[in-house]
Chain A
Amino acid sequence: MGIEGFIDIQLIMKGSGINDVEIRSSRPVYASRVFIGKSVNKSLTMLPLLFSICGVAQACAGVRACEQALGLKVPVQLEQVRNKLVNMETLREHLWRILLDWPILLDEQSLNQPLQTQEMSQIIKHQNDYRKLLTAGSNPFLLEQEIPSVCVANCQPISKLNQILEKSIFALSPDKWLKIDSIEKLQHWFESSETIAARFLKKIHQNQWQSLGRNHIKGLLLLETEGLETKSLEMEALDIDTLYAQFENETFVKQPLWEDKCCETNSLTRVDSPLLQELHRQWGNGLMSRLVARLTEMAQIICELLDEPENPSPAMNQNRCNIQGNGIGVVNAARGLLIHHVSVEQERIKKYQILAPTEWNFHPQGVVTQSLACLQGDSEQIKIQADLLINAIDPCVGYKFLLDKRE
């Protein structure tokens, strides 16, 4: 069952640490070529069948790319519905990793596993209920769809999710957790709380792993939708014209570089707060900043879904292209920036490329490689730290380590 591909990570040890890291990926990055020659509508219907992990983000990037290629105008309200559904999926994915993966990484898997899977099952149900409420049975990821205007702020699925976050993650309401604005207050929080998230951060603190994996790989931002000036990490801005030029190179989706440099994309590169700024100053893009960025993103998303702000984040389907019949769809998926590029000729797909966040993060010289290259310790300690880092950088992908000891 290797259809989804795999990442092999060879850790070459010398003395008391890592001497070199080699990453090989067998992920089927060209699978989207199956849409070539098919109609746009058929391709958009098939897309979530093929790419069903983060299927909402995939469907959203696909329809945005096709709409641009066809020159279709999209109602703002429809884009807002799409953004809410993508945010909900991001929340679910983060909860999945925290409730089901973090206990394993804490070595306490058997303690509450039935409870955590039961909770995760409820979360998936709330996500499905939310989508039904929001779309009333329509599919917002097909062309020219009309979505009824429904106010779902504070609806039952969102309230229930908020309760789960309060009980199992933050030990206080997410909006109050967002008021934690210093390392000192964060430490007080994780030392006085008993949730899985608090215990996890406490373990990182006790082992002094806060700066684990710190490196200088830059984060990716989409220039037209986000502000560089607010970020306290070093960022690289993607501009759409250069992005189109990059897609001319077929290997761009396999091992992407931006201005000949590796970049990373995930919660850390798109979330900001006073607490994160202090963490970046203290420990750079090390492990603690990554974990807190994910928690911050979850709290921000649930607050936004609860309140439905009057001026929501700008829609992301504005990436104009001057090349007729071409479109790029960008989505902030749970794992990072997901980019679809499509060329359409006579309403049929001529070219379909997908650049997933994993290809940036697991580039052979990328952020995972650089993070793992810093590790010190015996092989058992290195494996524990490497699992923590990979889970924090890009927790979806299947991978295996090969420890190669050389004297």
Chain B
Amino acid sequence: MCLALPAKIIAIDETTDMATVALGEVKKEVSIALVEDVKINDFVLIHVGYALNKISPEEAERTLQLFAEAGLTE
């Protein structure tokens, strides 16, 4: 519900503005066309196939902790 997932960029295809992101063991292709200056190992919030914005590793960790606490990652 109205949630965006923090995920780590593990590969970038600059020709298509697409990236492979990882959340735990799961990998997914998302568009990075809406976010400027994305690099491998950056964390982004993803929602319906798009990276929405970059977040710091600390914010990503805090958010994932919160998801776990809310029982969303079980």
Task: Give A51 to B67 CA distance when docked, in angstroms.
Answer: 10
Q: Does A72 contact B (CB under 8 A)?
A: no
Q: Is the CB of A58 within 8 A of B2?
A: yes
Is the CB–CB distance between B34 and A28 below 8 Å? no
A51 to B3, CA, bound (A): 5
A228 interface residue (CB < 8 Å to B): no
- Tell me the smallest distance from the CB of B65 to a CB of chain A, in Å: 9
Interface residues on chain A, size class:
20 to 34
Residue of B nearest to A58 (CB): B2
CB neighbours (8 Å) of A33 from chain B are: 70
Q: Report yes or no: B1 in contact with A117, Cβ–Cβ below 8 A.
A: no
Chain A window 386-407, contacts with chain B (Cβ cutoff 8 Å), 1 for yes, 0 for no: 0000000000101000000000
A54 to B1, alpha carbons, bound, how many Å? 11
Across the interface, do A50 and B34 meet the contact criterion of CB distance under 8 Å?
no
- Is B11 located at the chain interface by the 8 A CB criterion? no
Closest beta carbon of chain B to A120's beta carbon, Å: 6
Please give me the residue from chain B that is nearest to A25 by CB atom: B1
| Inter-chain contacts of B28 with A (CB < 8 A) | 1
Q: Is the CB of A28 within 8 A of B3?
A: yes
Q: How far is the CB of A252 from chain B (nearest CB, A)?
A: 14
Subset of 26 A-B contacts with CB under 8 Å:
A1-B28, A3-B3, A3-B5, A3-B67, A3-B72, A3-B73, A4-B3, A4-B47, A27-B1, A31-B1, A31-B3, A34-B69, A49-B59, A49-B63, A49-B66, A50-B63, A50-B70, A52-B2, A52-B3, A52-B4, A58-B2, A117-B17, A117-B31, A117-B34, A120-B34, A356-B2
Q: B-contacting residues of A (Cβ < 8 Å)?
A: 1, 3-5, 27-29, 31, 33-34, 46, 49-54, 58, 114, 117-118, 120-121, 124-125, 354, 356, 358, 396, 398
| Chain B interfacial positions (CB closer than 8 Å to A) | 1-5, 17, 23, 26, 28, 31, 33-36, 45, 47-48, 52-53, 59, 62-63, 66-67, 69-73
